[in-house]
Amino acid sequence: MDQPSPSRPTTMTPLERRRFLALCGAAGLGAAALGALARAAEEAVPVDPEAIAACEKLAALEFTGDERALMARGLAELRESYRALRAVSIANGIPPALGFDPDALLGRRPPARRGDGVTLPAAAALARPESDAELAFLPLAALSELVRRRQVSSVELTGLYLDRLRRHGPRLECVITLTEERAMTAARRADREIAAGRWRGPLHGIPWGAKDLLAVRGYPTTWGAMPYREQTFDQDAEVVRRLDEAGAVLVAKLTLGALAWGDVWFGGKTRNPWNLEQGSSGSSAGSAAATAAGLVGFALGSETWGSIVSPSTRCGATGLRPTFGRVGRTGAMALSWSMDKLGPICRSVADTALVLDAIHGADPGDPASRTRPFAWRPGRDPSRLRVGFVPAMFDEDPDDEAVREVRAMDREALAVVRELAGELVPLELPELPVDALSFVLSVEAAAAFDELTRSGRDDELVRQVEQAWPNVFRQARMIPAVEYVQANRVRTMLLRDLERALAGVDVFVAPSFAGSHLLMTNLTGHPAVVVPHGFRKDGTPASITFTGRLWSEAAALTLAEAYQQRTGWHRHHPPGFAS
């Protein structure tokens, strides 16, 4: 092989580097020798003015020749620092020594208490439904009453859901691992406790499913990605532990798009139960599909940028994205330390409140988590709320017929909200360049999966297209640290501007995907409840979103519940799963 000339800088692309290592491997060289050769090949690339000028183009900067000459030695030293740091093994769950704290950025010190809890919705004298399918689709409050009154045992209910997961899971491609042994042990324990008069609360004995980025001791935690297919952890995620304490019964680990993007995982593409030709959207793909199809009583998902809102919309489920920091993330795959949130996906608004009540509060292993008051009761009068909306989001008349169809449903939903809440307050959201901030997520995700990219094992991910993690991880390596910090400073401005815009309201209603509010509120950490609000001509659901102020999930839940009770869209179930 020709040696590079010292006067002519060269570089190896990731593909060239992999081919180089493969050739060396074929020659019988060991790992140590391969590493030494790779370092030698990289060190042959000098940090000189020409190389710096090339990098300037990526960063939209321009330095003089003298400035480049002065930079060269320091940049070469920085490269050595990068190599030294890369020799350190960093587990995915280790957070950076930086943090996003909305309260601190707003100069607030809210009270550190849990609140008065959630009131169980009143249940009429309820008899066990005639069919198992009807039983499977009941909301949590009804299931809870049946189990508490011992009209249905937890063992029986768990067996029903496990059977549905086996029969329907393959059609939806929504199950990665059944946790049958763990589930039956928990169900038998629940029945014994309830029979002895020890009722732990509304989730006691209720089967549920976990998005497979949550660690469960004794079972694989695959993150939906081929490189981690056999990965296990010797701990339960904090939310799994809390649901165990509440008496809930974990029956399955459900699919997610690989590393929490989309609905394509290493075993296929999770399907929309309303139309099996469609994916279920992502990344909480299996959580939404399984809940909507009556395969679990409820599920947990996660959201960084739409991963609860989007699949809940596609599958006709009800999703709750809590305030950033409301729910601890120990034992959950880290994608973006400053944006990741865990939350419930259910079949009604009241269900999401019951689940949130069980899982919220400070988590010792998650420095971003907080204990803040959460109290909610069903049936509150929504007319006592100050409700805002952004007129432009509802007035737009898009060219795309499918979007226009949904926008008509949005306006119908707004009319219902106006009937419920009275006069609405027009809002204007901040006009900062929200879309330009999206690379904050890219940078943090690339850091979380740095070793995957540098090892070349990102080639094992199923999706290898421009808009998929392997390419985005590589692109993010080219984002300057200064720009990342500047983006987060603009993010602080966005948070403060949005709080000022919402100062006169308790909650605002918006089309789920209009404008930039989905990314905006994920960057600022605001909570949102997404509920179905109609069906398209093709028979698939659409949704509307209720966004609360920080830590004010209760207000968003109150309005969303009133909307559901008035409209009943959440009571529709996909017909292909009625048996």
| Calpha distance 409→534 (Å, rounded) | 7
Residue 454 forms part of a structural domain = no
444 CB contacts (<8 Å, ≥6 apart)? 335, 336, 337, 338, 339
Q: For tokens 């092989």, what's the residue?
A: 1
Are the C-beta atoms of residues 429 and 390 closer than 8 Å to each other? Answer: yes
Q: How many CA atoms lie within 13 A of 178 on its CB side?
A: 17
Distance CA 390, CA 217 (A): 45
Q: How far, CA to CA in Å, does 98 sit from each of 84, 214, 447?
A: 21, 23, 13
The residue segments making up the domain with residue 313 are 104-113+132-431+482-577
CB 560 within 8 A of CB 277: no
> Which residue blocks in 154-298 are alpha helix, DSSP H?
154-172, 180-195, 238-245, 285-292
Single-letter code of the amino acid located at 85: L
* All residues at 6 or more sequence positions from 399 whose CB lies less than 8 Å from its CB, including other chains: none
* CA torsion angle 259 227 210 168 (round to 10): 100
Question: Residue 206: CB partners within 8 Å, gap ≥ 6?
Answer: 140, 143, 144, 147, 154, 157, 247, 248, 249, 297, 298
* Catalytic residue selected from 144, 154, 211, 341: 211
Please report whether residue 322 resides in a domain: yes
> Quick check: is 307 catalytic?
yes
The reported pLDDT for the residue numbered 45 is 65
The active-site residue, picked from 153, 283, 336, 512, is 283
Residue 283 corresponds to which amino acid? S
Q: What sections of 64-112 are H helices per DSSP?
A: 65-86, 102-105
Q: What is the pLDDT of residue 44?
A: 53
CA dist 388 and 26 (Å) reads 65
Side chain identity at 549, as an amino acid letter?
A: R
- Residue 283 is among the residues annotated as catalytic for this protein: yes
The tally of CA atoms less than 13 A away on the side-chain side of residue 185 is: 5
What is the pLDDT, as a whole number, of residue 316? 98
pLDDT at residue 126 in the model: 80
283 upstream amide cis, omega within 30 of 0:
yes
CATH number at residue 188: 3.90.1300.10
85 domain-assigned: no
Q: What was the pLDDT predicted at 4?
A: 34
Quote the number of domains for the chain: 1
DSSP letter at 333 equals P
> In this structure, is residue 156 part of a structural domain?
yes
Q: Is residue 377 part of a domain?
A: yes
Per residue in 334-367, pLDDT (tens digit) is: 999 999 999 999 999 999 999 999 999 999 999 9
pLDDT of residue 41: 46
Indicate whether 98 belongs to any domain.
no
DSSP string, 374-408: -EE-TT--GGGS-EEE-HHHHH---SSHHHHHHHH
Distance of CA 461 to the CA centre of its chain: 19
pLDDT along the chain (579 residues), means of 10: 36 49 46 48 70 88 90 87 87 90 91 78 77 96 95 98 98 98 98 98 98 98 98 98 98 98 98 98 98 98 98 98 98 98 98 98 96 95 97 91 96 98 97 94 96 95 95 92 94 96 97 97 98 97 98 98 98 96
Q: Which of 153, 280, 287, 307 is catalytic?
A: 307
Evaluate whether residue 458 is within a structural domain: no
What six digits make up the tokens of 477? 């390596």
Q: Give 128: exposed, middle or buried? Use CB within 10 Å, 0-12, 13-18, 19+.
A: middle
Q: Is residue 94 in a domain?
A: no
